[in-house]
């Protein structure tokens, strides 16, 4: 079964399946008597789950699926036969950004591979070694086998009785799972992450616990060094302490294990719109995410980090920065395009100076 079109294209194949990585072809072998005069049929798949974005898909290697009869003259012979199912997926596209690593790769990979209970072989096209090191706890929790760079191992013909080319469970909503294609939900993914990273906190604390002593909820203020940096962190911290919070201030770095532990220990996370807020996937149930929204970025902020909280068991609040509150109002005259038409700069580069607070 193959699905073409939509945000994620994939083929879920069962039978005699042979993978020739160079050039990238998946042969789906059918009995000779079922074929029509030895004629093959084919389709192409780019196994990365953002098919609606040409910029993302440009760097993704294209695979051909060929349906061929068993007596076809070009059919390669197996050199590695696998007893377990396989999944082929790409690490190209936008996965250098942690938001896209989760939304485009890790969450749909969970939806695709988790049903096999680690008895699945992960085959990567457009291999990125740094990605493996960065997310090794997740990948090892999904598969008991070594992860292969399918192009590097180009001399071998891998053979499977079941193979998924591409990733299932992706939908247009970010950081979510299409439950019509998966038995799992995004809540299941969060539970899976807590197990993979040995995170202890499952639920945010209750402000009142049956008349017992009130516990101070932990608030994390996520800081940034360059663009979109809060200029009044100390003032926010003082106010939060007065309201009864125990406050932690930290910058989320590339160490996912460390970030997961920090985020999971919190009851409330406050941060300016940016990829670091993706780490809400590590928040305990009933925690709160507060997004500070730079002016005129309402839609992208809500789509990326507001809407996904609804299915995650996370409560969501936002604070929208007005023009007069932005540091940009001190840098540019009132009639400058940065202030009057910031969408021009949003479209040009979402990480540029327009998004300062």
The pair phi, psi for residue 297, each rounded to 5°, is: -120, 25
Under the banding of pLDDT at 50, 70 and 90, the label for residue 18 is very high
Is the pLDDT assigned to residue 262 strictly greater than 50? yes
Is the pLDDT assigned to residue 350 strictly greater than 80? no
Is the pLDDT assigned to residue 152 strictly greater than 90? no
pLDDT mean over 302-319: 96
pLDDT, position 9: 94
* Calpha distance 188→240 (Å, rounded): 32
pLDDT mean over 215-238: 87
Q: What percent of the chain has pLDDT over 70?
A: 89
What are residue 247's DSSP bridge partners? 219
pLDDT mean over 112-134: 97
Q: How confident is the prediction for the chain on average, in pLDDT? A: 89
Of 49-63, 189-203, 229-243, 322-336, give the lowest mean pLDDT range: 322-336
Is the pLDDT assigned to residue 177 strictly greater than 70? yes
Under the banding of pLDDT at 50, 70 and 90, the label for residue 329 is low
Token duo for residue 129? 């070694």
Task: Give residue 60's region: left, alpha or beta (phi > 0; psi -120 to 50).
Answer: beta
* Calpha distance 337→354 (Å, rounded): 10
Is the pLDDT assigned to residue 134 strictly greater than 60? yes
Are 206 and 219 contacting, i.e. CB atoms less than 8 angstroms apart? no
pLDDT mean over 85-95: 97
* Calpha distance 69→39 (Å, rounded): 8
* Calpha distance 181→260 (Å, rounded): 27
**Residue that wins the pLDDT comparison between 176 and 336:** 176
Locate all alpha helices (DSSP H) within 207-348, ordered by sequence: 233-242, 256-264, 298-301, 309-312, 328-331, 337-340, 343-348
pLDDT digit string, tens, across residues 57-85: 999 999 999 999 988 888 999 999 999 99
* Calpha distance 232→170 (Å, rounded): 38
Q: What share of the chain is helix, strand, coil (3-state, %, to 5)?
A: 30, 25, 45
Are 122 and 139 contacting, i.e. CB atoms less than 8 angstroms apart? yes
Under the banding of pLDDT at 50, 70 and 90, the label for residue 323 is confident
Is the pLDDT assigned to residue 185 strictly greater than 90? yes
Under the banding of pLDDT at 50, 70 and 90, the label for residue 349 is very low
pTM of the predicted protein model: 0.90
* Calpha distance 281→101 (Å, rounded): 12
Residues ≥6 apart with Cβ < 8 Å to 174: 99, 103, 303, 304, 307, 308
The count of C-alpha atoms lying within 13 angstroms of the C-alpha of 290, restricted to the half-sphere facing its C-beta, is 15
Closest C-alpha to 191, from 316, 282, 322: 282
The pair phi, psi for residue 13, each rounded to 5°, is: -115, 145
Token duo for residue 337? 């395009």
Is the pLDDT assigned to residue 330 strictly greater than 50? yes
pLDDT, position 353: 34
* Calpha distance 209→241 (Å, rounded): 20
Q: What percent of the chain has pLDDT over 90?
A: 72
* Calpha distance 16→78 (Å, rounded): 10
* Calpha distance 215→264 (Å, rounded): 17
Are 112 and 137 contacting, i.e. CB atoms less than 8 angstroms apart? no
- Cβ contacts of 113-119, under 8 Å, gap ≥ 24: 113/87, 113/142, 113/143, 114/142, 114/184, 114/188, 114/192, 115/182, 115/183, 115/184, 116/84, 116/85, 118/142, 118/143, 118/144, 119/84, 119/85, 119/144
Token duo for residue 3? 């699905």
Residue with tokens 């199912």: 85
pLDDT mean over 87-114: 97
């Amino acid at each position: 079964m193959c699905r073409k079109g939509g945000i994620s294209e994939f083929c879920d194949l069962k039978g005699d399946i042979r993978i020739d990585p160079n050039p990238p072809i998946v042969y789906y072998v059918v009995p000779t008597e079922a074929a029509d005069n030895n004629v093959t049929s084919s389709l192409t798949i780019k196994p990365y789950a953002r098919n609606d974005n040409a910029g993302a898909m440009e760097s993704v290697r294209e695979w051909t699926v060929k349906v061929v009869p068993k007596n076809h003259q070009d059919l390669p012979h197996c050199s590695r036969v696998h007893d377990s199912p396989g999944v082929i997926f790409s690490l190209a596209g936008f996965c250098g950004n942690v938001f896209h690593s989760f939304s485009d790769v890790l969450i749909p990979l969970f939806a695709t591979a988790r049903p096999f209970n680690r008895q699945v072989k992960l085959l990567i096209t457009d291999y990125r070694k740094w990605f493996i090191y960065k997310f090794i706890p997740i990948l090892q929790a999904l598969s008991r086998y070594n992860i292969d760079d399918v192009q590097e191992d180009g001399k071998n013909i891998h053979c499977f009785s079941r193979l998924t080319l591409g990733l299932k469970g992706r939908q247009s909503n970010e950081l979510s799972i299409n439950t019509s294609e998966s038995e799992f939900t995004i809540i299941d993914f969060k539970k899976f992450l807590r197990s993979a990273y040995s995170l202890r906190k499952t639920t945010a604390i209750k402000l009142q616990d049956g008349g017992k002593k009130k516990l101070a909820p932990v608030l994390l203020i996520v800081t940034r060094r360059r663009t979109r940096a809060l200029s009044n962190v100390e003032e926010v911290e003082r106010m939060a302490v007065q309201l009864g919070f125990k406050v932690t201030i930290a910058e989320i770095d590339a160490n996912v294990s460390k970030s997961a532990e920090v985020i999971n220990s919190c009851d409330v996370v406050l941060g300016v719109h940016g990829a670091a807020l993706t780490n809400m996937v590590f928040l305990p149930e009933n925690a709160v995410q507060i997004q500070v929204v730079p002016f005129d970025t309402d839609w992208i902020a809500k789509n990326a980090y507001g809407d996904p909280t609804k299915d995650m068991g996370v409560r969501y609040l936002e604070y929208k920065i007005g023009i007069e509150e932005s540091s940009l109002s001190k840098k540019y005259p009132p009639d400058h395009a940065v202030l009057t038409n910031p969408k021009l700069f949003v479209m040009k580069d979402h990480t540029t100076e327009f998004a300062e607070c």
